[in-house]
Amino acid sequence: AAEDCTAVIKKISYDSFTNSFVGLVPPLNDGIPTTLHYQTDSFKKLREWFSNEDRSHLINIHMIQPITNMQIAPNPFLLSAFGTNNKYEAIDIIRRWIWIFEQSSLQDIRIVGFSTDGDPKYMRAMRLVTGFFASLP
């Protein structure tokens, strides 16, 4: 599994299929973004969100690539994506990795490892998990 963020234009839009607003930063629950957090039929609540909630300026993407013994490797595919403002800790990343690992295991899918770029939060998460010059509290 690979994880990385990339910049996006800050924009809030309405998703009529889920009756929710997309583009605001969802709160994290054990490192996982809360789904459908911004659902409302109240204009007052919507105005409050526009005034007080952060807009996503990054999209966090998780990709998976199957490992096979074939000479031609299968293409990676998108596992998840969510908007973020990059205000999270290394422990949120670790919790997210654990959740992805556990959910994959329930589907008889084995995650061999996680990779990312050199973002300091991700490097700290990797050091914490491996115990390499860091230890979990």
Asked if residue 134 has pLDDT above 70, the reply is no
- Which residues span the domain enclosing 37? 2-130
Q: For residue 115, what are its two tokens? A: 């990779």
pLDDT for position 113:
87
Residue 99 belongs to a domain = yes
Beta-bridged to residue 4, according to DSSP, are 61
Residue 97 belongs to a domain = yes
pLDDT for position 73:
82
Residue 136 belongs to a domain = no
Residue 6 belongs to a domain = yes
Q: Are 1 and 79 in contact (CB under 8 A)?
A: yes
Percent of the chain exceeding pLDDT 90 equals: 66
Residue 135 belongs to a domain = no
Gap between the Cα atoms of 110 and 122, Å rounded: 21
Residue 56 belongs to a domain = yes
> How many domains does the chain contain in total?
1
Asked if residue 118 has pLDDT above 90, the reply is no
pTM of the model: 0.84
Residue 137 belongs to a domain = no
Q: What is the pLDDT of residues 28-85, one digit of tens each?
A: 998 999 999 999 989 999 999 999 999 999 999 999 988 888 888 889 999 999 999 9
pLDDT for position 71:
84
Gap between the Cα atoms of 107 and 12, Å rounded: 34
Residue 38 belongs to a domain = yes
